[in-house]
Amino acid sequence: MTDNQARTGAAMRHFRPPLIALLLLLGLVLACGQDPGAQGAIAQVRATLRPTFTPTSPTPTDTPIPPTDTPLPPTDTPPPTDTPPPTDTPPPTDTPLPTDTPAPPTATAGPTRKPAATPVPPTPTPNPFLLRDNFDGSLGGAWKPFLNYWRLADWNWFWDGGAGVNGSGALGHNCCANGGQAEDALMMYLGEGAESWKDYRVEVDILVPTEKGQWQGLWFRGQFEERSRKEAAQWVTGYYVMLGRNRVVKLLQLQTAEDCRERACQNPQNQYAFNNPYILREEKIEGIELTRGAWHRLAVEVRGNSIKIWVDGVFAFEHVDNEHPFLQGTVGFKTFESEPVYYDNIVVTPLK
């Protein structure tokens, strides 16, 4: 045996036919059964196999390997990035365990009390009057006689508990009692804030019981200041309205440095004097009777520089003072030669 034959025999002994060769052989066997010419081809194939080869049919478990997918083209591999060095991780801290919070004590429900209602104070009723006095008692401290003149004395003014309307009390004045000579006299109301009154209605009942009485009336929009005896008869401003005989009504104004007549302008001592007014207007009023021994109701309204006068409900006249009007002030009583005169039921009402 040659060396080539020996190598061939060794190779045949170690030959392991691949699976595809087996499949080809099986196909030829099946074909031979149908094609006689295929027998010679089979014989040639068998001649190439080793004598110990026994063909076997493929088992059902052998599964043909499908063709592999077409390989994708290689992609560019990005360069590796620098990995930052690891940071030190702080050691874990111990978490304190939660403590049990004591539950608040449960309030014992008691009977619910309804709060007591706060009493609402009654709304005060505004006083509709600035002044109201019926003189049923003694004179209050707000009434003050003007005395800054040598003839005047406080005892010329008096209170009489039975001389008023229907036997009530009244304020009286007698010029000549006890030998006095207080022909002109003025009683002033100087209550708090009275000299700041502006627009109002003042009315009063007046009685001259005998034929000796002369002019009696009201002082209104008045102002007063205390002065010494050296400034005799001063210091007063305001208006007078006076009732006289024969149904005559006079409106007079006290003289000032800005509003004076004749001698008063030349003699300052005659200015602001309670006994030196000048006449603004004098009217004889029809429809009234100013009889002695009877009560008469005198009323005056002042609003701005307008002055309106009524006697026993009968309108007398209106006067508008366009020169130097007195626009605010208190009230009072003015008399002249009274023996005696009485005043009762004075009322001062603010005007809206």
Q: What is the helix (H) or strand (E) element at residue 341, kind and residue range?
A: strand 341-350
The pLDDT assigned to 1 comes to 53
pLDDT of residue 284 exceeding 90, the answer is: yes
Instruction: Enter the DSSP assignment of 340.
Output: S
The pLDDT assigned to 312 comes to 96
Task: Give the whole-number percent of the chain exceeding pLDDT 70.
Answer: 66
Q: How far is CA 308 from the centre of its chain?
A: 41
Q: How far apart are CA 207 and CA 293, in angstroms?
A: 6
The pLDDT assigned to 39 comes to 53
Q: Which CATH class is domain 131-350?
A: mainly beta
- Would you state the structure tokens that stand for residue 217, as one six-digit string? 């009336």
Q: How far apart are CA 12 and CA 333, in angstroms?
A: 168
Q: Where are the alpha helices (DSSP H) in the chain?
A: 3-13, 19-32, 38-48, 263-266
Instruction: Give pLDDT tens digits for 201-219.
Output: 999 999 999 888 788 999 9
Contact criterion met (CB below 8 Å) for 218 and 331: yes
The pLDDT assigned to 295 comes to 96
**pTM score over 0.85:** no
Task: Name the residue type at position 348.
Answer: V
Instruction: Give pLDDT tens digits for 92-140.
Output: 555 555 555 555 555 555 556 666 677 777 776 777 999 999 999 888 8
Instruction: Classify burial at 217, counting beta carbons within 10 Å of its beta carbon; exposed 0-12, middle 13-18, buried 19 or more.
Output: buried
Place of tokens 């940071």: 87
Please tell me the number of Cα atoms within 13 Å of 337 on its side-chain side.
Answer: 8
- Would you state the structure tokens that stand for residue 343, as one six-digit string? 């005043």
Domain map (residue ranges) of the chain: 3-48, 131-350
Cα-only R_g, the chain: 69
Q: What is the helix (H) or strand (E) element at residue 32, kind and residue range?
A: helix 19-32
- Reference 147, options 277, 275, 328, 239; nearest CA is 275
- Reference 293, options 325, 346, 341; nearest CA is 341
The mean pLDDT of 255-277, rounded to a whole number, is 92
Instruction: Give pLDDT tens digits for 74-97.
Output: 445 545 555 545 555 555 555 555
The pLDDT assigned to 109 comes to 53
pLDDT of residue 318 exceeding 70, the answer is: yes
The mean pLDDT of 136-161, rounded to a whole number, is 92
pLDDT of residue 182 exceeding 50, the answer is: yes
Q: What's the chain's average pLDDT? A: 79
The pLDDT assigned to 62 comes to 45
